[in-house]
Structure 1
């Protein structure tokens, strides 16, 4: 059994029934996958609760901040706020005309949000940003403007973003607050830089424990993450970077095989064939890809066709869901001047359905009827065409 799973199994055996143990993971999905694997290896567990650094901080100080009249922003509210302040900064800053052209680009806005978030998490002050830290004056003016407006808005509207939440939680722990549960276990891979690292250090001082991981021979642990190597013999794959382990006898070689495929879908089909040929269950296989945003949708389409259950560590694009397709189409419908062809495609695909009392009318029939109305496009033409069709039906009734 892997060292991480063995440590969790030992913790589950030691804890008394009813004891709440927080398993702090980089993401909820990663933590749940580890517990699923623990079930396969041991038969079950009790008492573990998967959480994240943000959730632990929220549990520690969320109620206290609320009593102070402060509102804690979720990640979507934070993104919306930074987007709004970015527009203000672009309009007010001088010498950023080259950046104004990029202002409506999704990639540019994502980069600015990430930069502002990184500055906040690193606890970088506005004076440092406005100094010589950034050689490009346009970028310096823009980021400084967004950061200054963000700090002002948070203070003025009594808001708390994730960085401020972690700072509050760290201060609370340093003042002697107890951990939010009977036991707190920190999984490998959690970030140790900036406010995130300070909060984790405060958790450890109050009694949180590191979960050990199997050693990796020949590589030093990356900087900026939690990593506690267990004192156990390396697994075969752990020797990948140093098969002889410094001149000693090599261990069991990892079972590595290479193959080529004509495309991504064909590559994934071969992976699924090899999983079946090895006699593995689907939840015993993990697929690591160079680009989840490309391989993820391809695997989802293939797995859905073959009825194979799949869990995605980083999720799927929202357009892969029915709700996501409907929302995306709604935006296209409004932006394009309300063309009825967009609604027809939604009805034909089953992404848009009538209310419950009329569910017996299928989408294809509705799409054909919508086409016969000859609306074309234009918001006002819908009401006129529908009213005309209703009057025609009323006249046709006996």
Structure 2
């Protein structure tokens, strides 16, 4: 029996208040309006950005259905939708691509003006929600909301992918892998023979490592305070692992000494303002480039000495690895299918959706790179 045009009751993990476990409850998901798509989620990854909302360090209005790294199947579409149809396998896009705004039209940019990052309204583009719980609206998150059996997104925020792609693997294309891999290839534009330092060796940091290796970097220094991450990092391309706890001087000084002047490229993939300035200072002072990939707490402000930039360093930010989402995601999935990209090393475990709180505990304890939840 078709569910098109009807309200669907389904299971969702709702963040009702900060610093509390997710509540797995039954919500109502309204049908898609014009230019919207309703998706049945098949698999979704647990990302540190979701946990930033749970911890209260990143603002998003509550109650909220979090999650932004997923694969699903289109259940139904609203009037005017042309890029996908019911039955298509898709990836929701936390950075949409409308194809019409000044950012989308600029070949150097990818952060479409239709995004719901930064200010975070927690609503669909028309200013309303498609989720209700106990008769009251529940907020969306980052244009996606994937911690639910069904979600609704705008057509600009969904990409059709290969029908044969394994959901429990290619869901990482929705955020973690693409964000890190693209930061190296698109944002920094790492060159063959260059030296790199990656601060933070979680799922996104290791994806940066994979991007640096794919670009031909000759030396990749991995920086993390959790030495248990070093074996996997070396497996993926890190040549030197350093733990700041092992030194009695700033880690940037250690890296500058190791490289006789600083690395060509550094990447901050933690989301801390102190490591952002340390990553910048670890670059060669005249031509080094540092890329901020990690999401800092909402109230953060950086203070640094202007000389860090005056001498010639470049400081950049990277959102979704610089990819134009709707165009790039299907191609990245194709690269997985042809084994140009291997995602398996990034996936620590796969759990049923109702074990979501257990998955977040593993993330917080540093025991997982990526946990994938399957429905």
Give the TM-score band, short-chain normalised.
under 0.3
Larger relative helix fraction: 1
TM-score by length of 1: 0.24
Larger relative strand fraction: 2
Between the two structures, name the one with larger relative contact order (CA 8 Å, sep ≥ 6). Answer: 2
